[in-house]
Chains A and B, each alone.
Chain A
Amino acid sequence: MRIDLETLQLVSRGFDSSASYTFSRLVNLTIDDLALKNASRLLRPACLPSLRHLALPGVWAEMDLKSLKKAHLEALLPQLETITLEAALFQLLPVYLFQYIDRTLFNFNACGYATPGSIVEVCHLRVREFNSQSFAFEMIETIPELVSLIRRRNPINLRSIYLHPSLRNPANLIDELSDLTIDLLEVCQEKGVEVIYEIQPETTVDPWISDEFCKRSRMQREAEGRTVMKRC
């Protein structure tokens, strides 16, 4: 029996792709920093001819760059419609990934990380753990920095920001979070940054590839295609 997977998500040290296999119908692939170390033979166009969406959660440290280099992602990138990366990788982003920044969604973990100034240079940002009340203390420092960075940057590359649906109604949040959310929404409106509410990955078994981002990227490409057709 043949199983043609369309989605594969590997979060594991145990993964081994020492042999070369072809996933002819695989469209979505999520592979974390641990699995990436052994996936160098998998991330090739010949092995993944139908791949359109790639997510690399947990890939952000300098040592992960070695795995990225070994994986030879460059050849795979042109066929991808969306890429999902950690925002912490942005400062170390290899040049070959930088040119695909308009189709990349960067995950920004609002808790426990410093807010890099470069964060607002990305086009699409998913702010994670912003809805978690248990992390409110850390976010009280992090989110105002993000708001300030967005406000100061002119012009701004940031086109969309992805938030948890619970932030749609800030009045339901605790006071500190409510104020932070209102500030963030206001500055986004002021700067023309679209706010998109979507359920977010909370554990490593959750889907990391954003349906909304995929949908919007597809619509964007179709709109661009129509424009080109009209010009012709």
Chain B
Amino acid sequence: MSFPSLPPELVRQIIESSVPSSFHSTTKKERQATLRSLCLVSQLFQSIAQPLLFRTIFVNSPGDLACALASARAKEAYGMIETLVVEDKHEIWTATSAAKKLSLHASNLRTLILHFTRPKSQFRAYAIHLHPRTCFAFRNVSDPSTESSDCE
């Protein structure tokens, strides 16, 4: 039996078992690279691999965020995003922007992992607030105008 003639359920199981089921820092690059390659194999592969590709968004730079959001928009994949991992080594706005954008579009977001590595002194101006309706929002304490007001 040739691969394309396999039942889609079986192809799905093969693809899902070829990558780790959840996010881990040691496997994230390999996982995403594998899924990107699988998306290019055929329409069937793409239909299975693409949701897995967008399931977890890992952001640790403004560039990452821009790429992830642009791809999600182009592929109409916001609804596929289930996990957002923000490791903010650079600018607090990475997390702020990610939170704002995703709280607007990612209706299926279920897992949020936030790690901020900025020194304490540089953090004084910021606070993370958990928003009652969207569950999270970010605010610059010294500048109330930056509050995430578009989170509904």
Contacts and interface: CB of A to CB of B under 8 A. Distances in A.
A11 B114 contact: yes
B66 interface: no
Interface residues of A, number: 30
A202 B26 contact: yes
Contacts of B132: 21-22
B128 A3 contact: no
B120 A13 contact: yes
The main secondary structure of chain A at its interface with chain B is: loop
B148 interface: no
Given A12-B115, A14-B128, A15-B128, A3 B134 contact: yes
Interface stretch (A63-71, A76-84, A154-162, A204-212): A204-212
B56 to A, nearest CB: 11
B110 A7 contact: yes
A4 interface: yes
A42 B58 CA distance: 25
Interface in A176-218: 199, 202-207, 211
Interface string A1-39: 111111111111111110101110000000000000000
B111 interface: yes
14 contacts: A5-B136, A6-B111, A7-B113, A8-B111, A9-B112, A9-B114, A13-B123, A14-B123, A14-B127, A15-B127, A21-B131, A199-B24, A206-B23, A211-B22
Interface of A: 1-17, 19, 21-23, 42, 199, 202-207, 211
